[in-house]
Amino acid sequence: MQTPTLFALLLLLILVAYGTGFRRAVSTARSLGGVRNLAALPSYYGLYTALWCGLPALILLGAWLVFDDAIIRAMVLNSIADKPEMISGQNLLYAQIQNLAAGHLIGEKSPELQSAADYFSLLRSRSNNLQAFLSLVLASGLAAFALLRLSPKLRAREKVEKVLRIALIACACAAILTTVGILLSVLFESLRFFQSVPVTEFLFGLHWSPQMALRADQVGSSGAFGAVPLFTGTLMVSAIAMFVAVPVGLMAAIYLAEYASKRVRSLAKPILEILAGVPTVVYGFFAALTVAPFIRDLATSVGLEASSESALAAGLVMGIMIIPFVSSLSDDVINAVPQSLRDGALGLGSTKSETVRKVVIPAALPGIVGGVLLAVSRAIGETMIVVMAAGLAANLTANPLESVTTVTVQIVTLLVGDQEFDSPKTLAAFALGLMLFISTLVLNFIALHVVKKYREQYD
Amino acid sequence: MTDLTQAQVRERIEKGLASRHRKEKLFRGLGIGSIAFGILAVVILFTDIISKGSGAFVQTAIQLEVHYDQQVLGIDKVDDESLTWANFTGVIRQSLRDRFPSVAGRSDKRELYTLISSGAPFTLRDRLAENPDLLGKSERVWLSADDDVDTFVKSLKDSKEGFRGRTSDQKAGWIEQLLESGELKKRFNTTFFTNGDSREPEQAGIRAALMGSLFTLLVTLALSFPIGVAAAIYLEEYAPKNRWTDLIEVNINNLAAVPSIVFGLLGLAIFINFFELPRSAPLVGGLVLTLMTLPTIIISSRAALKAVPPSIRQAAMGMGASRMQVVFHHVLPLAMPGMLTGAIIGMAQALGETAPLLMIGMVAFIVDVPTGVTDPATVLPVQIFLWADSPERAFMERTSAAIMVLLSVLIVMNTSAVLLRKKLERRW
Amino acid sequence: MSTMTLDAAGRTDTAQSEVAGGQLMTNRAAVRETVGQPFCDTAKLRMRNVNVFYGETQAIHSVGLDIGQNEVVAMIGPSGCGKSTFLRCLNRMNDTIEGCRVEGELSLDGDPIYGPKVDVVPLRARVGMVFQKPNPFPKSIYENVAYGPKIHGIASRRADLDEIVENSLRRAGLWNEVKDRLDKPGTGLSGGQQQRLCIARAIAVSPEVILMDEPCSALDPIATARIEELIDELRENYTIAIVTHSMQQAARVSQRTAYFHLGHLVEVNDTETVFTNPEHELTEAYITGRFG
């Protein structure tokens, strides 16, 4: 039986279970003289039955779907394990077997392969049948069990709510699971990477050319995994972005919060926020095709050497992207500064700008710093703009007109396209991912903490 | 120093006034300048994209007298089998030679053939399949021009010379000839909306990418909204204030600021390598984007729940409702508009996301329109990324057009979120 | 309507009858003209026919009042009567409120307060203000007091600044309490000390007038007594207008008292007269606690 049909069937069973439970409760209630004699409303009895019917069966089905491929694969490969000529290249071999079983393999078919494919088909169909059989039996069996347990004294509502509550908790834990998942996925691959390339070399090496290391004999000895040029490139692009975004964003926020009339504010704010809603790939396109050539032409016209992919173009556009981020965060913290402080300063005869510069900004400083840190973390993790506009060459340079590469660019280039998952080149991407994750996590953590403390101060 | 008299103080204040007011003006000017800079950036960005991309919505077509000659086609009846093998390219070449009889010589002829898109034979095939009677007859058909022709024709209105690129003088002459006789026109580019990706710009469209985005978003919405709302309900209505919930809270806030590419790494390592889900599939893309948008949705849903006044909960509790009933019967319906707004904004964010999808292989060259969540697919932003890398000028135009489509969808989503919030917003 | 007429018996029959009918709170027609002595010869601040609007609503209705040199004038009245709004007109703090519009003639020593050519910066240096809630800047005690002199460029040398800070703190009666911790944040002081710090901050720029907007409403009785003493001392050098919620406080610190009711100035008289023998029914009703 196909999986969608099975799902439909299960769903039907669940509905039937609900209906039966509901009607049983209603009829019991009638013989007792009204619903008030039940421990819960009839619908809860229905839900109770439906949960017994559906939940275990669905869990079983889910587990089956997750694990059956791996088990079948192991069994098929195991069945041909004694034929040494087929041991190497398991992935390819297995794909061939699958194709053969599906009936669209073009090319020669060895008898071993054919028998493996037959075995695969057999297992596949058995697995499907077993899965359908087990889940349907489980569902109907448990539904019957639940119906037997129905009685006017059964506190169905509490039991249903308990299950719901557990489901809610599980959903709330999804965030934790995500973090754990990120940590596990980058940590393990990174550890494997650091087995072949020493940590110190990765952190302090000055040369980055992962392509060199494709040859097995060179791994770890070529010195091609020194990530310093990536770090400096990332820092330079982020610094340029901050150089644009922080003053512009901050001044815009100050103007909107302290000077602008309601009308101007209600017009300018949404326009600035458009910048935040534009997808990064659009900025990347803009940076690569409009800003970078413009900067190159400009530099050439004043006699400077400029690469067509420059840190400046990427940084500039990234800065524009981050302006609304900085301005809305600063706007929040500036508005949190109590009006009484402004009144105090104005009452002494300060001009508006003196009030802002000498009283409001110093008072809002922790919050602003927190916002800027969040913006830095965003700039470091930004990918598409730098992938499209900053370039691939791992130059160790301080010239913003040259092309640089960043951590995120390298992650993308190392992982896009087909690779063996075990090569150090691929693993290096995870090591870079680990660096990225740790640094942004630390920045976020500090920033959120600072902002929280700041808010508490004026609450 | 003795106390300054009030008059002395006054005098000193007066002295500094001019420079203080100058500074005030400067500061104010900087503020206005910053706002102007931001608005200017928006204007430049949009005009740049629109000026580059609007051309892609029209496409150059050439009218040819096509003779469905059995001999040239190499078929004698119209059925699926014969249509597959029929030589429509030969028919088109024949028509071109008939239209420009003066062209002789192999290389000139070969150049002549490049006037018409290499996808044109499929147009003829479809026509013949629809009208089998045409076999052996002639008709005048509008066929897509090649992208070089397209680029050249479109650039003619900017400058007399036009953008030549690979277009030779001879070819330019033919084009002008066709243009004068009305056999060359610009028509609405339906291909752009009906086709998948292609190596040939004039045949490339965004349909496959749009469907990919749609499937990916469906998966994302189906997972992230219920999970996000459930998590928000737990954290806001149930969770005791302890270290465990604090941890979850800090976690959610941190996740909201983790770079999206890291989620891509997670998807690659866990969903593809560990669970062996299919690469390039909207299912995996949706899963990754779910994890990415979950913090946004949880945070906005919590805000919506917080906005429901406690008096409503107390009233329901006072009637003897259980906590679950209070939440599901009273609080949730009131918080729904806020939650929906948050969900739309989260979806808009997911729709524009590119980087994590590159990690899970949604960057492959995919021509077919996906029909389900496990088919290999790409999404609109990734399609933009892929096209932006292509050297052809015609692709730049299509990239900008795809961006315009993407931005329009995003604008619609965000406006509807704002409208929804305005319309359903309740003041307590 | 003219507030220029100094008719002490400016009550109308309707006012009387409606007061008698218990319509005190709601009837605006009850107040037509200010009774008592709103004007004086040594006027430091002169206000005539002042109207204040918040958008469409009128908050102050043609108020005329003089505040004399080295005099403490208390403004009392039920909440929302416009006394704070009126006070904030005197150094144009209402400018910071969007949609607020002030009409009428207001002058300080004959110099107009409102007008296109008037610069609020020196005006506010001449008319200082102390607010309801103590609002020290989140800076050190020294920096709080030095803030005004610094922005106005009053002291050019550090020694001068030190002296201004010390003198101001002494006058505010705070010097002995804080002289050893001038570099500690001003927000770390107690409420009463914070308010005296704000007074020190205001007098550091040598103002001529000090406006006080319920300066003791956030303080405990002991701190309040300390501030009231201080106001009495400050009267020697400054002209003071104080808005207060407490009638006892008005009685203790002021020479003249102005009673506001629903945006109208009802009565101005010597403090003693107001509290012992009020001319207007509304004033009497207020001070005897019939409403407030």
CATH number where B409 lies:
1.10.3720.10
pLDDT for the residue numbered A70:
76
pLDDT for the residue numbered A281:
94
Burial degree of C64 (CB within 10 A; 0-12, 13-18, 19+): buried
- List the 309-348 stretch of A: residues with Cβ below 8 A of B: 320, 323-324, 327
Q: Where are the domains of chain A?
A: 3-169, 228-458
Are B321 and B377 found together in one domain?
A: yes
Query: Is 1.10.3720.10 the CATH number for A228-458?
Result: yes
Are B116 and B147 found together in one domain?
A: yes
Other chains touching B, judged by 3 or more CB pairs under 8 Å: A, C
Q: Using CA coordinates, name the residue in chain C closest to B14.
A: C122
* Number of independent structural domains in chain B: 2
Q: Which of C168, C206, C208, C237 to mutate to test the interface with B (most CBs of B within 10 A)?
A: C206
Among residues B130, B160, B189, the one where a domain terminates is B189
Which among C123, C135, C148 has CB closest to A341? C135
C85: phi then psi, degrees, rounded to nearest 5: -60, -45
Checking if the pLDDT of B1 tops 60, the result is: no
DSSP letters, C111-169, are EESSSTT--HHHHHHHEEEE-SS----SSBHHHHHHHHHHHHT---SHHHHHHHHHHHH
| Residue B47 located in a structural domain | no
Secondary structure (H, E, C), chain B: CCCCCHHHHHHHHHHHHHHHHHHHHHHHHHHHHHHHHHHHHHHHHHHHHHHHHHHHHEEEEEEEEEECCHHHHCCCCCCHHHHHHCCHHHHHHHHHHHHCCCCCCHHHHHHHHCCECCCHHHHHHHHHHHCHHHCCCEEEEEEEECHHHHHHHHHCCCCCCCCCCCCCHHHHHHHHHHHHCCCEEEEECCHHHHCCCCCCHHHCCCHHHHHHHHHHHHHHHHHHHHHHHHHHHHHHHHCCCCHHHHHHHHHHHHHCCCCHHHHHHHHHHHHHHHCCCCCCCHHHHHHHHHHHHHHHHHHHHHHHHHHCCHHHHHHHHHCCCCHHHHHHHHHHHHHHHHHHHHHHHHHHHHHCCCHHHHHCCCCCCCCCCCCCCCCCCCCHHHHHHHHHCCCCHHHHHHHHHHHHHHHHHHHHHHHHHHHHHHHHCCCC
| Residue B106 located in a structural domain | yes
How long a stretch of residues is chain B?
428
The first and second tokens of residue A18, run together, are 């609900």
- Select from A431, A382, A379 the least CA-distant residue to A210: A431
Which among A338, A343, A348 has CB closest to C147? A348
- Residue A360 and residue A335: Cα distance in Å, rounded? 9
Question: C151 and A358 in contact by Cβ < 8 A?
Answer: yes
Question: A350 and C128 in contact by Cβ < 8 A?
Answer: no
- The residues, ordered by sequence, that sit 6+ positions from A117 with a Cβ below 8 Å of its Cβ are A97, A98, A100, A101
Q: Tell me the nearest-neighbour CA distance from A351 into chain C, angstroms.
A: 6
pLDDT tens digits for range C224-254: 998 999 999 898 889 999 999 888 999 999 9
Amino acid, res. C248: Q
| Residue B416 located in a structural domain | yes
Question: C206 and B14 in contact by Cβ < 8 A?
Answer: no
ipTM for the assembly? 0.89
Are B59 and B144 spatial neighbours (Cβ–Cβ below 8 Å)?
A: yes
Are A227 and A325 spatial neighbours (Cβ–Cβ below 8 Å)?
A: no
Q: Tell me the nearest-neighbour CA distance from C149 into chain B, angstroms.
A: 9
- Residue C244 and residue B97: Cα distance in Å, rounded? 101
Interface check B14 vs C, CB under 8 A: yes
Question: C206 and B6 in contact by Cβ < 8 A?
Answer: yes
Q: Please report which confidence band the pLDDT of residue C88 belongs to, taking 50, 70 and 90 as the band edges.
A: very high
| Residue B284 located in a structural domain | yes
Q: Please report which confidence band the pLDDT of residue B384 belongs to, taking 50, 70 and 90 as the band edges.
A: very high
Interface check A356 vs C, CB under 8 A: no
Domains detected in chain C: 42-287 (3.40.50.300)
Checking if the pLDDT of B324 tops 90, the result is: no
Question: A344 and C135 in contact by Cβ < 8 A?
Answer: yes
Are A447 and A370 spatial neighbours (Cβ–Cβ below 8 Å)?
A: yes
Question: C121 and B1 in contact by Cβ < 8 A?
Answer: no
Checking if the pLDDT of C90 tops 50, the result is: yes
Checking if the pLDDT of C29 tops 60, the result is: no
Q: Using CA coordinates, name the residue in chain C closest to B1.
A: C160
Question: A282 and B403 in contact by Cβ < 8 A?
Answer: yes
**What's the whole-number mean pLDDT along residues C7-20?**
38
Checking if the pLDDT of B48 tops 90, the result is: yes
Interface check C91 vs A, CB under 8 A: yes
Residues of C in contact with B16 (CB under 8 A): 152-153
Are C74 and C48 spatial neighbours (Cβ–Cβ below 8 Å)?
A: no
Q: Tell me the nearest-neighbour CA distance from B63 into chain A, angstroms.
A: 34
Q: Tell me the nearest-neighbour CA distance from C87 into chain B, angstroms.
A: 22
pLDDT for the residue numbered A350:
92
The first and second tokens of residue A432, run together, are 């870079």
Are B283 and B315 found together in one domain?
A: yes
Residues of C in contact with B4 (CB under 8 A): 154, 164, 206
Which among A254, A380, A429 has CB closest to B31? A254
Interface check B193 vs A, CB under 8 A: no
- Residue B233 and residue C183: Cα distance in Å, rounded? 48
- Output A39 or B1, whichever has higher pLDDT: A39
Are B347 and B235 found together in one domain?
A: yes
* Number of CB pairs, chain A paired with chain C, less than 8 A apart: 64
- The residues, ordered by sequence, that sit 6+ positions from B32 with a Cβ below 8 Å of its Cβ are A255
Are B181 and B212 found together in one domain?
A: no
Range of the domain at B118: 57-189
- The residues, ordered by sequence, that sit 6+ positions from A276 with a Cβ below 8 Å of its Cβ are A321, A324, A325, A328
Q: Tell me the nearest-neighbour CA distance from C16 into chain A, angstroms.
A: 41
Which among A172, A251, A440 has CB closest to B257? A440
- Residue A351 and residue A256: Cα distance in Å, rounded? 17
Checking if the pLDDT of B284 tops 70, the result is: yes
Are B228 and B320 found together in one domain?
A: yes
Question: C154 and B1 in contact by Cβ < 8 A?
Answer: no
Which range, of B37-46, C19-28, C48-57, C151-160, averages the lowest pLDDT? C19-28
Torsion sign (Cα): B31, B35, B40, B42: positive
Q: Tell me the nearest-neighbour CA distance from C133 into chain B, angstroms.
A: 27
Are B68 and B137 spatial neighbours (Cβ–Cβ below 8 Å)?
A: yes
Please provide the distance, in angstroms rounded to a whole number, between the alpha carbons at the two ends of chain C. Answer: 27
Which among B39, B252, B324 has CB closest to A268? B39
Other chains touching A, judged by 3 or more CB pairs under 8 Å: B, C
Interface check A179 vs B, CB under 8 A: yes
Checking if the pLDDT of C104 tops 60, the result is: yes
Are B74 and B85 spatial neighbours (Cβ–Cβ below 8 Å)?
A: yes
| Residue B39 located in a structural domain | no
pLDDT for the residue numbered B167:
73
Which range, of A104-118, B356-370, C12-26, C269-283, averages the lowest pLDDT? C12-26
Among residues B189, B215, B245, the one where a domain terminates is B189
Strand order in the sheet with C264-270: C35-36, C264-270, C256-261, C72-76, C239-243, C209-213, C127-130
- Output A185 or B85, whichever has higher pLDDT: A185
Are B135 and B244 found together in one domain?
A: no
Q: Please report which confidence band the pLDDT of residue B2 belongs to, taking 50, 70 and 90 as the band edges.
A: very low
- Give the distance, in angstroms, between the CA of residue B294 and the centroid of all CA atoms in the same chain: 21
Q: What percent of chain C clears pLDDT 70, i.e. is strictly above it?
A: 89
| Residue B25 located in a structural domain | no
Q: Which of A258, A348, A355, A356 to mutate to test the interface with C (most CBs of C within 10 A)?
A: A348
Question: C121 and B13 in contact by Cβ < 8 A?
Answer: yes
Are B244 and B323 found together in one domain?
A: yes
CA distances from B400 to B162, B407, B413 (A): 20, 10, 20
Are B307 and B357 found together in one domain?
A: yes
Residues of chain A with pLDDT under 70: 1, 81-92, 104-109, 211-223, 417-422, 459
Are B238 and B283 found together in one domain?
A: yes
Are B360 and B246 found together in one domain?
A: yes
Interface check B409 vs A, CB under 8 A: no
Are B79 and B107 found together in one domain?
A: yes
